[in-house]
A and B are shown apart, each in its own frame.
Chain A
Amino acid sequence: MLDIRGLKAKVGGKEILRGIDLHIGAGEVHAIMGPNGSGKSTLAHVLSGRENYQVTGGQVTYQGKDLLAMSPEIRAREGIFLAFQYPVEIPGVSTTYFLKAALNAVRKHRGLEELDAMEFLALIKEKLKLVEMDQALINRPLNEGFSGGEKKRNEILQMAVLAPTLALLDETDSGLDIDALRIVAGGVNALRGKDRAMIVITHYQRLLDYIVPDFIHVLYEGRIVRSGTKELALELEDKGYDWLKGEAAAVH
Chain B
Amino acid sequence: MQAIQSAERYIDAFNERQTTEARSPVWLGALRQAAMASFTALGFPTTKNEDWKNTNIESLVSLPFVSSNGEVKSVRAAEILSNACVDADAPRLVFVNGVYAPELSSVHGLPSGVRVGSLAEFIQQDSSVLASRLGHYADHRRQAFVALNTAFFTDGAIVEIGPGCRLSQPIYIIYAANAEERRIVAYPRTLIMAGAGSEAKIVESYTSVNGGSYFSNAVTELIGEEGASVEHYRLQREGKSAFHVGTLEASLGRGCHLTAHAVTLSGLLVRNNVHVLLDGEGAGCILNGLYLGDDKQVVDNFTEIEHAKPRATSLELYKGILNGASHGVFNGKIIVHKDAQKSDARQTNKNLLLSAQAAVNTKPQLEIYADDVKCSHGSTIGQLDADALFYLRSRGLGLDEARSLLSFAFASDVVGRIKIDFLRRCLDDYLVSKFRGV
Contact = CB atoms under 8 A, between A and B. Distances in A.
Interface of A: 48-52, 71-73, 75-77, 81-82, 84, 87-88, 90-93, 98-99, 101-103, 105-106, 109, 141, 158, 162
Contact of A92 (B390, B395, B396, B409): B409
29 contacts: A49-B394, A50-B390, A51-B386, A51-B390, A52-B386, A71-B393, A72-B390, A73-B394, A73-B396, A73-B397, A73-B399, A76-B395, A77-B396, A81-B394, A84-B394, A88-B385, A90-B409, A91-B412, A92-B408, A92-B411, A92-B413, A93-B405, A98-B392, A98-B397, A101-B401, A102-B395, A102-B396, A105-B398, A162-B395
Given A71-B393, A88-B391, A105-B401, 17 more contacts: A48-B394, A49-B393, A50-B390, A51-B386, A51-B390, A72-B393, A72-B394, A84-B391, A88-B388, A90-B409, A91-B412, A92-B410, A92-B412, A98-B392, A98-B395, A101-B397, A105-B398
Interface string B402-435: 1001101111110000000000000000000000
B390 A90 contact: no
A83 to B, nearest CB: 10
Contacts of A99: 395
Contact of B388 (A73, A90, A105): A90
A76 B395 CA distance: 6
Contacts of B397: 73, 98, 101-102, 105
- Chain B binding surface SS class: helix
Given A71-B393, A101-B397, A105-B397, A88 B405 contact: no
B89 interface: no
Given A51-B390, A72-B390, A105-B401, A91 B413 contact: yes
A167 B43 CA distance: 67
B79 interface: no
A52 B389 CA distance: 13
What 8 A-B pairs come out closest when comparing CB atoms?
A92-B409, A92-B412, A76-B396, A102-B395, A72-B393, A88-B391, A105-B396, A106-B396
A93 B408 contact: yes
A93 B391 contact: no
Contacts of B391: 84, 87-88, 90
A98 B405 contact: yes
B50 interface: no
Contacts of B396: 73, 76-77, 102-103, 105-106, 109, 162
A128 to B, nearest CB: 17
Interface of B: 385-388, 390-399, 401-402, 405-406, 408-413
B409 A88 contact: no
B393 A76 contact: yes
Nearest to B410: A92
Given A50-B390, A101-B401, A158 B408 contact: no
A32 B250 CA distance: 64
Contacts of A50: 390
A105 B411 CA distance: 24
A82 B409 contact: no
Contacts of A81: 394-395
A88 B396 CA distance: 15
Most buried by A among B390, B394, B413: B394
A60 to B, nearest CB: 16
Given A90-B409, A92-B409, A92-B410, A71 B399 contact: yes
Nearest to A159: B395
Contacts of B386: 51-52
Most buried by A among B390, B405, B413: B390
A66 to B, nearest CB: 18
Nearest to A104: B396
A24 B326 CA distance: 50
Contacts of A91: 409, 412-413
Contacts of B388: 88, 90
Nearest to A80: B394
A102 B405 CA distance: 11
A92 to B, nearest CB: 3
A91 B398 CA distance: 19
Nearest to A79: B396
Contacts of B410: 92
A56 B396 CA distance: 25
B381 to A, nearest CB: 18
Nearest to B400: A73
Nearest to A143: B391
A90 B393 CA distance: 13
A98 B395 CA distance: 9
Nearest to B406: A90
Contact of A76 (B385, B394, B405): B394
Contacts of A102: 392, 395-397
Most buried by B among A50, A102, A141: A102
Contacts of B392: 90, 98, 102
Contacts of B401: 101, 105
A11 B137 CA distance: 60
A90 B413 CA distance: 12
Nearest to B402: A73
A98 B408 CA distance: 12
A82 B395 CA distance: 8
